[in-house]
Amino acid sequence: MNVSTYIFGLVMATLLGAVFHLWKDGGFWKLVIYIILSWVGFFLGHFIAKSAGLSFMTVGSLYLGGGVIGSIIFLFIGHWFSRIDSFPGQSKQE
């Protein structure tokens, strides 16, 4: 993979993280977390699709289909973990 492929992958993953943030609504730090999760999931999905030989939505040497699926999985898992209460039964004080 060349540098332009990495840049295109980062742009796509960043857009996925930003759209997910707009959909799920959160603050600045959630935006940062969603973008990082999207980057990790995108490139992990890309490398898994590359090693498995899946050629779904390839753009040059970038396995975009695997990257998008990996990014979405990581975003939903990260959102799910962010919803877990540290102390169950203890609500926010009013």
Q: Are the C-beta atoms of 15 and 28 separated by less than 8 Å?
A: no
pTM of the predicted model as reported, rounded to 2 decimal places: 0.82
Mean pLDDT, residues 58-65: 90
| 3-40: pLDDT as tens digits | 988 899 999 999 999 999 998 877 888 899 999 999 99
